Amino acid sequence: MQLPFRVNLEGRVALVTGGGGVLCSVMARALAACGARVAVADLKKEAAEAVVSVIRGEGGTAMAVACDVLQRESLAAANETVKRELGPIDILINGAGGNHPKGTTTHEYLRPEDLQGAVQDVITFYDLDPKGIEFVFNLNFLGTLLPTQAFTREMAARGRGVVINISSMNAFRPLTKIPAYSAAKAAVSNFTQWLAVHFSRVGVRVNAIAPGFFVTEQNRSLLTRPDGSWTPRAHTILAHTPMGRFGEPQDLVGTLLWLVSDEAAGFVTGVVVPVDGGFAAFSGV
């Protein structure tokens, strides 16, 4: 793959959770292109295997590993498998996450008629399912915390390692309709800062990337119509993104490589870097 620049990751082992997804698969490829041996971890092993096939086709070293980021036993098994096949992990990308309809309201604003139940099949704030909220929060927050527990102990023992969490624009400015996802990603950003301080004396750096708006398989139906045109929500996002476009997965690579490189970012820890086309800087006016 084409890189904006190259850092030296020879001899390093990287693990990417959610590695079968649109964004994290590109991150995995970029790490491999810089010489890292990459474990592509995903709940769906076939998705991870597809990414591994691409990496190997590009001349990199990679393996697929099935991994449930909410199950300690699954994480421990993945860690042992990766150590046996590739070696101990030096770089962890916590990319697993996502939203769920049960943590989403129907409308942006609460309307009087919604309180009166005048409109059928409308999910208001008061109708949100606690189990849905719990699922979204656990997937994003615990799905970052638990893998960090599983995969960084040996980094801390060796006195060297890098953790990159994936936050979101929602952590800076919560979006309408998705309170659970926004709150969970805010927790990821806060946890990134907490963990950076906690790990600062054992040589492990912790940072986060906060992507702006990218079209992925999870949000494609919210942003595009069947004919491929943009939905009203997509138009609203673009109107509030000064660069006037959605991000491409490749747009994340430069920030990723900077943060994982000890030579380039050895004194950088505890930051959350927006890659958003200016969305966080725009007031809407």
* Structural domain span for residue 199: 13-279
**Predicted pLDDT of residue 218:** 73
Q: Which of 135, 137, 172, 181 is catalytic?
A: 181
Asked whether residue 4 is assigned to any structural domain, the reply reads: no
In this predicted model, what pLDDT tens digit does every residue of 135-151 receive, in sequence order? 999 999 999 999 999 99
Average pLDDT, the chain: 95
Q: Which of 9-18, 98-107, 112-121, 253-262 is predicted with the least confidence, judged by mean pLDDT?
A: 112-121
CB 80 within 8 A of CB 154: no
Asked whether residue 1 is assigned to any structural domain, the reply reads: no
CATH code, 274:
3.40.50.720
Reported confidence tier of residue 242, pLDDT bands at 50, 70, 90: very high
CB 223 within 8 A of CB 233: yes
Is 181 catalytic? The answer is yes
Q: Alpha helices of the chain — where are they, by DSSP H?
A: 22-33, 45-57, 72-85, 112-115, 130-137, 143-158, 179-198, 220-223, 232-239, 253-260, 262-265
In this predicted model, what pLDDT tens digit does every residue of 24-51 receive, in sequence order? 999 999 999 999 999 999 999 999 999 9
Q: Tokens representing 40? A: 């592509």
22, HSE (Cβ side, Cα atoms, 13 Å): 15
C-alpha 12: how far from its chain's center? Answer: 21
Asked whether residue 169 is assigned to any structural domain, the reply reads: yes
Reported confidence tier of residue 66, pLDDT bands at 50, 70, 90: very high
Q: Within 10 A of 15 (CB to CB), how many other CB atoms are there?
A: 30
Asked whether residue 147 is assigned to any structural domain, the reply reads: yes
Asked whether residue 3 is assigned to any structural domain, the reply reads: no
pLDDT(117) > 90: no
Asked whether residue 6 is assigned to any structural domain, the reply reads: no
DSSP state of 149: H
Write down the pTM of the prediction.
Answer: 0.95
Non-local CB neighbours of 270 within 8 Å, separated by 6+ positions: 192, 193, 196, 197, 206, 207
User: Per the structure, how many domains does the chain have?
Assistant: 1
Asked whether residue 64 is assigned to any structural domain, the reply reads: yes
Asked whether residue 37 is assigned to any structural domain, the reply reads: yes
CA–CA separation, 49 vs 47, rounded Å?
5
